[in-house]
């Protein structure tokens, strides 16, 4: 029994506390902040809050859950700009952990206003996992590198599990987007979702009625007539979403599924006009240290080779240590 528990404990530690570098975690802080900033700047939350029809769809429980109430459009505008300022601070490294905390809490409050764009829920509109990701970065050592003020006085030399677990936890949040999408399809439509008839109806609905680009509309209609291709698209989508969780455990899965996920997101954006804002967070699976060493050479200082730094594997997709494949 003790041997089994020891084995489970080793796998647990290898999964959550795989060593990573402080520079890699700092780059994740910057990219998560830039992504949230991009989504926030692309929406007019003040205007949305002032739309009377919006509030008729929001139950009281949700209003109290997110502390969102009608009649405070000006306040929402102020909070939006505070969140934008906090995200900028997290990007450039001015009190980055405090800025991540402020931005995470404010985006949790503002994100539900996104539901006016999707009609019913704020999910998969770009800010679904931003609050949790920013709060993870706020409580981790994400300010130990690429920080203007205050400078970290005692960063850990070389890769450390302290820099690895935040990345792994944010990876989990990204993977859950695909897992929950697959679960929702199964609950709402069952296995029928992957049939050719259903995929054809989706192409006709989104490709014809919800796009203004004539060329893309014609392409969507052409796809809707390819009876042999439609079941392959449906089944392939379900396989991708159900198996994407494997990227947490396997480098091989990351090499295959992450490029496919990018291709899938691009395809539905072109054919259906559906843009999943979180798609760009797939870049968090990239091995940043490998890329930076290719461009700038090995790091200097506490993380230099020979001073506790272990050069990352030459692999564009983030490697997995330990006994995972």
The pLDDT tens digits of the residues spanning 109-126 come to 998 887 655 555 545 567
Cis peptide before 90 (omega within 30 of 0): no
Burial of 132 (0-12, 13-18, 19+ CB in 10 A): middle
Q: Is the confidence at residue 213, as pLDDT, over 70?
A: no
Q: Rounded to an integer, what distance in angstroms lies between the CA atom of residue 142 and that of residue 28?
A: 8
Q: Give, rounded to a whole angstrom, the gap between the first and last alpha carbons of the chain.
A: 25
The model's pTM: 0.88
Q: Rounded to an integer, what distance in angstroms lies between the CA atom of residue 133 and that of residue 122?
A: 16
Q: What three-state secondary structure class fits 309?
A: strand
The pLDDT tens digits of the residues spanning 24-63 come to 999 999 999 999 999 999 888 888 888 877 777 777 888 8
User: What's residue 220's pLDDT?
Assistant: 84
Are the C-beta atoms of residues 77 and 40 closer than 8 Å to each other?
Answer: no
Are the C-beta atoms of residues 90 and 35 closer than 8 Å to each other?
Answer: no
Q: Does 59 or 300 have the greater pLDDT score?
A: 59
Handedness of CA 213, 218, 219, 221 (dihedral sign): positive
Here the tokens at position 132 are 């949790």
Mean pLDDT of the residues in the chain = 84
Closest CA to 33 of 81, 85, 79, 72: 85
Are the C-beta atoms of residues 90 and 96 closer than 8 Å to each other?
Answer: yes
The mean per-residue pLDDT over the stretch 209-238 comes to: 83
């Amino acid at each position: 029994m003790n041997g089994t528990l020891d084995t489970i404990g080793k796998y647990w530690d290898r999964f959550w506390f795989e060593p990573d570098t402080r520079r890699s975690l700092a780059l994740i802080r910057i990219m998560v902040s830039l992504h949230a900033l991009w989504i926030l700047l692309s929406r007019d939350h003040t205007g949305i809050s002032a739309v009377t029809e919006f509030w008729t769809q929001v139950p009281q429980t949700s209003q109290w859950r997110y502390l969102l109430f009608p009649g405070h459009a000006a306040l929402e505008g102020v909070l939006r700009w505070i969140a934008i300022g906090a995200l900028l601070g997290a990007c450039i490294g001015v009190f980055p952990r405090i800025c991540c905390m402020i931005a995470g809490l404010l985006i949790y409050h503002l994100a539900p206003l996104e539901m006016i764009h999707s009609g019913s829920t704020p999910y998969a509109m770009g800010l679904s996992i931003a609050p949790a990701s920013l709060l993870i970065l706020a409580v981790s050592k994400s300010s130990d590198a690429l920080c203007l003020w205050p400078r970290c006085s005692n960063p850990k030399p070389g890769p450390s599990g302290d820099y690895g677990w935040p990345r792994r936890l944010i990876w989990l949040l990204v993977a859950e987007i695909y897992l929950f999408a697959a679960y929702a399809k199964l609950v709402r439509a069952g296995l029928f979702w992957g049939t050719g008839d259903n995929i054809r109806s989706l192409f006709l609905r989104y490709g014809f009625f919800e796009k203004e680009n004539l060329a893309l509309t014609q392409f969507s209609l052409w796809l809707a007539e390819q009876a042999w291709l439609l079941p392959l698209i449906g089944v392939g989508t379900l396989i991708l979403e159900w198996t994407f969780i494997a990227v947490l455990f396997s480098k091989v899965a990351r090499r295959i599924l992450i490029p496919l996920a990018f291709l899938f997101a691009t395809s539905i954006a072109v054919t259906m006009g559906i843009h999943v804002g979180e798609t760009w967070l797939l870049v968090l699976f990239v091995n940043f240290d490998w890329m930076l060493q290719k461009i700038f050479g090995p790091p200097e200082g506490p993380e230099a080779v020979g001073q506790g730094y272990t050069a990352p594997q030459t692999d564009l997709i983030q490697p997995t240590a330990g006994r995972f494949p």
